[in-house]
Amino acid sequence: MTETKQIKGCCPLDCQDTCAWVAHVEDDRVVKVEGARDHPFTRGMLCAKVNDYQARTYAPDRLLHPLRRTGPKGSGTFERISWDEAIDTIAERFNGIIQSDGPEALMPLFYLGSMGVVQRHALMRLFNGLGASQLHGELCGASMSSLLMEGHPVGFDPEEMVDSKLIILWGINMLSTCHHHWQLIKEARKRHGTRVICIDPRRSRTAEQCDEHIAIKPGSDAILAAGIAQVMLAEGLADLDYARATAVDFDAYCDQVKSWTPERVAAACEIDVEVVIALAREFAAAKPAVLRAGVAPQQTVRGEAFVRSLSALAALGGHWRHPGGGLFFFEAPAFDEFAAARADLQPHTPRSLDLSAVGPALTYTDPPVKGLMVWCMNPAVIQVDSGRVRRGLARDDLFTVVLEHFMTDTARYADIILPATTQLEHFDVLGAWGHQYLTVNNQAVAPQGEAKSHGEVMRLLAPRLGLAGPAYEESDEEIAAATMPDGLTLDDLKTEGWRKVSPPRPDPAAGDPTLRFASDHLEPVESDALRLLTPKSHYFLNSSFANMPRQRKSQGQPELEMNLADAERLGLADGEEIVMANERGEVHAILAVSDVICAGAVCLIGKWWSEPTETAALANMLTPSSWSVGGQPAYNDTFVVVEAASQAGLREDAA
Ligand SMILES: Nc1nc2c(c(=O)[nH]1)N[C@H]1C(S)=C(S)[C@@H](COP(=O)(O)OP(=O)(O)OC[C@H]3O[C@@H](n4cnc5c(=O)[nH]c(N)nc54)[C@H](O)[C@@H]3O)O[C@H]1N2
Ligand SMILES: Nc1nc2c(c(=O)[nH]1)N[C@H]1C(S)=C(S)[C@@H](COP(=O)(O)OP(=O)(O)OC[C@H]3O[C@@H](n4cnc5c(=O)[nH]c(N)nc54)[C@H](O)[C@@H]3O)O[C@H]1N2
Ligand code: SF4
Ligand SMILES: [Mo]
């Protein structure tokens, strides 16, 4: 009988939950992955995206050998080459660029395709050692991060939420995007009869399960927050001591919110006056309430106003005083993830490029980027204004290396593609962004084909780029060991599987007041056209899995959700093919008419790929080249006109 080995690992994906899993291995093949039942936070459940992760490792379209492009950039025509040829070519081209243009003409580009410290950071050792351009910025919570830099607390141990008495889910679709957090809500409901309110322009899977759904006009969240504050202050419900001990501009904040009466707020947010008043009273009365907020409402040029307004409210209610109370966007275990990248290897402080602005970086940066290496990101699909990103990637004078599992839209633009290992084929260590557990990922099986871990690619390339020393020779485990917190060794973590490493609980009122509560702008960007929202899909993780048959089947076809009132006004019918368009491009989808999305907005779920063309609904061909002051790409400041595809066809014929 074949022996089944069970290997402790974890999900690599960019999700708050970082599930611990057990890979079941027979004859060096993973036969299933199962959630680790004894993990205190994720409790044995994987999600609908990942519960057959081995299918990704063994997918027939997986990239298993290095490839060299033979057709035009973007065409997807490649030939197989050996690792030796691939490394020779990359070294020759990168060394040539360094000689002609200097090391800053090289740009690394990565995000959270894998959250592993080795897969994310090992390759940065090369770019650090060379003095290449650095990378900064974020694609999701950039507004939150910029407020965190100002000192605003944005999270605490989520396990406290079992004792929250009121949970406000503000622009988060928890049941799709981080469903383990819902277990805490269930427990709070059981213990305290906790009410759960969802504020979301869309009746999401999560909104359906809440006690109340407030279908707010998208982008108007900071105004609703001001309205809540106005009622609390006017009715004497605010915790003035706590708020004054927290804010340096408390009086200015009070002045700002004063004019936002429930009537004005109701009109601006397109909700009822009574809803504003009741929400304020309930929020003030709960001891404590938590504002459990998400990413989508940050995705506008006013992202910081949203985060700042919620931070102000959490203090105004005094909710930080109690376990389970405060503001929660993000929480991570206390460890030094960036130690794996070894910034100390930099010979000088180089320029830094914004990872969320790849379009500008590849089209306007001076001096220009000449060599690009992309890993753990699919910029041709997920960056704002991705038409511009593609124009940059198509430049003849740009040499691009992409490390990938699949032939993504971005990989199609590569000169050289390197096959990367999946989470079942390498060792790694992961933090999380929704809890405090650090988790190990032991290698379960040998890599398929010729795939290599990023640590191994780093070790192969370093000597060819003239880099020598221990940092370039360390094994993947040694790279990961650099990130361990005090009191925890990598060996301990390997044995235990995970360890909760809690940072201190924030108390913004401790010490002198430092925080700023008043925002520069509260009002959203407006337009007569329909606002396009593009939240996360249940079965894809951003653009990952959009090529996988099971997930594709479950997700169905690209649909544009529209409110019945808008459909009637525009003379459009449920189920018909439509075109949505703006000055940047057009995208086809099937219209789904209902009351799921509020009037004035439309919603396209799923980050689809260019291939197959029948489902090539590339939302980011329409999103603008705009960012908040804190660097958040304004995915949701996208306005489109929608018409029947048949009409659009007629218009083109006539032109
Ligand atoms: N299944 C699945 N899970 C994922 C991901 C995925 O792609 N798929 N992606 C992962 C990543 S990278 C991230 S960042 C997280 C994000 O997870 P979430 O924070 O849940 O992000 P979104 O789905 O973008 O948006 C959440 C909700 O905000 C609503 N919304 C949109 N605009 C507004 C607005 O102006 N105001 C308010 N109040 N609500 C608004 C949307 O309708 C949506 O229901 O999820 C992670 N988990
Ligand atoms: N319109 C619109 N655009 C959005 C968003 C939105 O809500 N609306 N959301 C934004 C947000 S919040 C985020 S976080 C970004 C996400 O954007 P990305 O971080 O680019 O996420 P993915 O689309 O999942 O692409 C990750 C890629 O990494 C690859 N990958 C996975 N593991 C590894 C590995 O170990 N090695 C290598 N080399 N590659 C690996 C996967 O195959 C995949 O192609 O998208 C953003 N874009
Ligand atoms: S995507 Fe999130 S919920 Fe799904 S298995 Fe991975 S960590 Fe768990
Ligand atoms: Mo994200």
As a whole number of angstroms, the distance between CA 125 and CA 274 comes to 56
Q: Tell me what the mean pLDDT of segment 578-602 comes to.
A: 98
Burial 503-513 (b: 16+ CB within 10 A, else e): eeebebbeeeb
* DSSP code string of 131-149: TPPEEE--SSSHHHHHHHH
- DSSP 8-state symbol, 541: B
Q: Checking DSSP bridges between strand 20-26 and strand 29-35, what pairing results, if any?
A: antiparallel
**Mean model confidence pLDDT for the chain:** 97
The pair of structure tokens assigned to 466 is 């003239």
Residues with CB in 5 Å of ion ligand 4: 140
Cα dihedral 361, 363, 366, 371 in deg (nearest 10): 70
Between the CA of 617 and the centroid of ligand 2 the distance, in Å, is 16
Burial 175-191 (b: 16+ CB within 10 A, else e): bbbbbbbebbbebbeee
Q: What is the pLDDT of residues 23-43, one digit of tens each?
A: 999 999 999 999 999 999 999
Q: What is the pLDDT of residues 313-348, one digit of tens each?
A: 999 999 999 999 999 999 999 999 999 999 999 999
* DSSP code string of 183-207: HHHHHHHHHH--EEEEE-SB--HHH
Which residues is 643 bridged to in the sheet? 579
Q: Tell me what the mean pLDDT of segment 229-250 comes to.
A: 98
Query: Does the C-beta of 140 come closer than 6 Å to ligand 1?
Result: yes
Q: Tell me what the mean pLDDT of segment 552-559 comes to.
A: 97
The pair of structure tokens assigned to 64 is 């298993």
Query: Does the C-beta of 197 come closer than 6 Å to ligand 1?
Result: no
Between the CA of 300 and the centroid of ligand 1 the distance, in Å, is 13
Ligand 3 atom nearest to 47, measured from its CA: 4
Tell me, what's the pLDDT at 365?
A: 87
Q: Tell me what the mean pLDDT of segment 356-361 comes to.
A: 98
Q: Which residue ranges form the domains of the chain, and what is each CATH number?
A: 5-57 (2.20.25), 67-138+334-500 (3.40.50.740), 143-328 (3.40.228.10), 530-654 (2.40.40.20)
Residue 556, sorted as left (phi over 0), alpha (psi -120 to 50) or beta, turns out to be left
Please, which residues have CB within 8 angstroms of residue 511's CB and are 6 or more apart in sequence? none
Q: Tell me what the mean pLDDT of segment 132-156 comes to.
A: 97
Please, which residues have CB within 8 angstroms of residue 271's CB and are 6 or more apart in sequence? 214, 215, 216, 217, 224
Handedness of CA 174, 634, 601, 593 (dihedral sign): negative
Q: Among all ligands shown, which has an atom nearest to the Cα of 45?
A: 3
- Tell me the backbone φ, ψ of residue 480, rounded to 5 degrees: -70, -35
* Of 330, 536, 540, best ligand 1 pocket probe by most atoms within 8 Å of the beta carbon: 536
**Is the pLDDT assigned to residue 654 strictly greater than 80?**
no
Residues with CB under 6 A from ligand 2: 12, 14, 111-114, 119, 139-140, 295, 375-378, 382, 403-406, 408, 420, 534-535, 541-544, 607, 619-620, 623, 635
Ligand 1 atom 44, closest CA? 173
Strands across the sheet with 326-328, in order? Answer: 212-214, 195-199, 166-170, 289-293, 326-328
Between the CA of 476 and the centroid of ligand 3 the distance, in Å, is 23
* DSSP code string of 571-582: T--TT-EEEEEE
As a whole number of angstroms, the distance between CA 114 and CA 476 comes to 15
Query: Does the C-beta of 386 come closer than 6 Å to ligand 1?
Result: no
* DSSP code string of 400-413: EEEEESS--TTGGG
Query: Does the C-beta of 204 come closer than 6 Å to ligand 1?
Result: yes
Strands across the sheet with 437-441, in order? Answer: 428-430, 437-441, 498-500
Q: Among all ligands shown, which has an atom nearest to the Cα of 175?
A: 1
Tell me, what's the pLDDT at 648?
A: 80
pLDDT level of residue 614 (50, 70, 90 thresholds): very high
Query: Does the C-beta of 176 come closer than 6 Å to ligand 1?
Result: yes
Between the CA of 583 and the centroid of ligand 2 the distance, in Å, is 25
* Of 19, 114, 115, 177, best ligand 1 pocket probe by most atoms within 8 Å of the beta carbon: 177
Ligand 3 atom 4, closest CA? 47
Tell me, what's the pLDDT at 643?
A: 97
Ligand 1 atom 5, closest CA? 541
Ligand 2 atom nearest to 543, measured from its CA: 23
The pair of structure tokens assigned to 636 is 């949701």
* Residue keyed to tokens 């899995």: 545
How open is the CA angle 397-398-401, to the nearest 5 degrees? 150
Ligand 1 atom 35, closest CA? 218
pLDDT level of residue 252 (50, 70, 90 thresholds): very high
Q: What is the pLDDT of residues 199-222, one digit of tens each?
A: 999 999 999 999 999 999 999 999
Between the CA of 566 and the centroid of ligand 1 the distance, in Å, is 23
Q: Tell me what the mean pLDDT of segment 446-472 comes to.
A: 98
Q: Checking DSSP bridges between strand 134-136 and strand 352-354, what pairing results, if any?
A: parallel
pLDDT level of residue 647 (50, 70, 90 thresholds): confident
Tell me, what's the pLDDT at 655?
A: 59
Of 293, 337, 287, 338, residue with least CA distance to 317: 287
Query: Does the C-beta of 541 come closer than 6 Å to ligand 1?
Result: yes
Between the CA of 610 and the centroid of ligand 4 the distance, in Å, is 21
As a whole number of angstroms, the distance between CA 196 and CA 37 comes to 27
- Tell me the backbone φ, ψ of residue 239, rounded to 5 degrees: -90, 80
Query: Does the C-beta of 428 come closer than 6 Å to ligand 1?
Result: no
Between the CA of 204 and the centroid of ligand 1 the distance, in Å, is 10
Ligand 2 atom nearest to 403, measured from its CA: 38
Report how far apart, in Å, the C-alpha atoms of 287 and of each of 154, 339, 540 are.
19, 40, 37
**Dmax (CA) of the chain:** 75
**Is the pLDDT assigned to residue 653 strictly greater than 90?**
no
Q: Tell me what the mean pLDDT of segment 423-442 comes to.
A: 98
Q: Cis omega (within 30 of 0) on the bond before 367?
A: yes
Ligand 1 atom nearest to 178, measured from its CA: 47
Q: Among all ligands shown, which has an atom nearest to the Cα of 170?
A: 1
Q: What is the pLDDT of residues 503-536, one digit of tens each?
A: 999 999 999 999 999 999 999 999 999 999 999 9
Please report how many Cα atoms fall inside a 13 Å half-sphere around the Cα of residue 470, on the Cβ side: 4
Q: How many CB atoms lie within 10 A of CB 258?
A: 13
Q: What is the pLDDT of residues 257-310, one digit of tens each?
A: 999 999 999 999 999 999 999 999 999 999 999 999 999 999 999 999 999 999
H/E stretch holding 244: helix 240-246
As a whole number of angstroms, the distance between CA 497 and CA 543 comes to 29
Ligand 3 atom nearest to 541, measured from its CA: 1
Query: Does the C-beta of 533 come closer than 6 Å to ligand 1?
Result: yes
Query: Does the C-beta of 14 come closer than 6 Å to ligand 1?
Result: yes
* DSSP code string of 581-639: EETTEEEEEEEEEESSB-TTEEEE-----SSSGGG---GGGTS-S-B-TT--B-TT--E
Between the CA of 523 and the centroid of ligand 2 the distance, in Å, is 30
Between the CA of 478 and the centroid of ligand 1 the distance, in Å, is 35
Between the CA of 489 and the centroid of ligand 2 the distance, in Å, is 30
Please, which residues have CB within 8 angstroms of residue 548's CB and are 6 or more apart in sequence? 55, 56, 59
- Tell me the backbone φ, ψ of residue 28, rounded to 5 degrees: 55, 30
Between the CA of 68 and the centroid of ligand 2 the distance, in Å, is 23
Of 101, 119, 156, residue with least CA distance to 14: 119
Q: For residue 528, which amino acid is it?
A: D
pLDDT level of residue 2 (50, 70, 90 thresholds): confident
Query: Measured between alpha carbons, how far apart are the two ends of the chain, in Å?
Result: 71
CB 98 within 8 A of CB 104: no
Please, which residues have CB within 8 angstroms of residue 29's CB and are 6 or more apart in sequence? 58, 445
As a whole number of angstroms, the distance between CA 257 and CA 229 comes to 7
Residues with CB under 6 A from ligand 3: 11, 13, 15, 17-19, 46-47, 49-50, 541
